[in-house]
Amino acid sequence: MAIIIDGKKVSKEIKDEVREKVLALKEDGVELALAVVIVGNDNASHVYVRNKKRACEYTGIRSIEYDLAEDTKEEELLSLIDKLNEDKDINGILVQMPLPKSIDPDKVINRIDPNKDVDGFHPINKGKMLEGSECFLPCTPSGIIELLKRYNIEIEGKRCVVLGRSDIVGKPMSILLLSENGTVTTCHSRTKDLSSITKEADIIVSAIGKAKFLTSDMVKDGSVVIDVGMNRDENNNLCGDCVYDDLFEKCSAITPVPGGVGPMTIAMLMKNVLHSYENQKGK
């Protein structure tokens, strides 16, 4: 039987830590602000953005939303980013992904001031992450590292298997686990004999977005499973990448969906906005 890794509880602890500092700053007349830019009508993205705004309200960070139409021109979005980069009252800029097909996401990410890139998506921050130097880390993978640490799950020397190689989760997850001295294997759609790899893993992070993909026969007894998936099952219920009930019996620790990784992403974003202010002030 597994320990349930309670991302909701840990994320509240983190948000409370941020809130305390943000409220102390407010007493000194400083207000932190996050610009949240969303383009188009993607339903899931609107839900994520709503949750991010709620977390801002909770922590005392001002969120300024820019809700742009699906047919927004790339140039218009780039000009908005230029304006937000210049605005001294804005500490962080978040452009919700995915963007409509007519807009090149790399161009947009490249335009964000790396010092305000609270998502950790800018190439400068990615490069610094590779080096292991101080930077904004992407929120989902850094939230997973934080969860493992707060549950005293050792990464050093452990066999870590990451399922998925997306820019937002899989790739940075592999790098962060490596930075913590894990022995990391990244698996993806072209990986052969996946089960033989997952069965060797002490820690599995699944970020592939396939409902109930990871089954208990694919893991060894006592493994730790982190489920990043947000999928709908055959009955339209929210579920992760893992067959939770079966894995729960076999694993030593597991994250539920919902209430596992999801809330951590938002808590780490709040932490990044606070860091952004602290860095900007320190300059």
Active site residue 52: yes
Longest alpha-carbon distance in the chain? 58
Half-sphere exposure of 213 (CA within 13 A, CB side): 25
139 binds ligand GUN (CB under 6 A): yes
The one among 265, 273, 275, 277 contacting ligand GUN by CB under 6 A: 265
Nearest approach, Cβ of residue 196 and ligand GUN (Å):
30
CB under 8 Å to 188, separation ≥6 — which residues? 163, 164, 165, 170
242 binds ligand GUN (CB under 6 A): no
CB under 8 Å to 36, separation ≥6 — which residues? 49, 52, 53, 63, 64, 65, 66, 94, 96
253 binds ligand GUN (CB under 6 A): no
94 binds ligand GUN (CB under 6 A): yes
CB under 8 Å to 60, separation ≥6 — which residues? 19, 22, 23, 26, 32
Active site residue 119: yes
Could you identify the residue written with the tokens 């010092």?
Answer: 115
- Name which of 32 and 168 has its Cβ closer to ligand GUN: 168
Give the interface size with ligand GUN as a residue count (CB under 6 A).
Answer: 9
142 binds ligand GUN (CB under 6 A): no
Could you identify the residue written with the tokens 């005392």?
Answer: 60
Strand intervals (E) in 114-263: 159-163, 183-187, 203-206, 224-227, 231-232, 238-239, 253-254
* Residues of this chain, 162-221, that bind ligand GUN according to CB under 6 A: 168
Active site residue 96: yes
* Residues of this chain, 36-55, that bind ligand GUN according to CB under 6 A: none
DSSP conformation class of 135: -
The one among 96, 125, 185, 276 contacting ligand GUN by CB under 6 A: 96
- Name which of 23 and 47 has its Cβ closer to ligand GUN: 47
Judged by the rule CB under 6 A, the positions of this chain that interact with ligand GUN are 94-97, 119, 139-140, 168, 265
Positions marked catalytic: 52, 96, 119
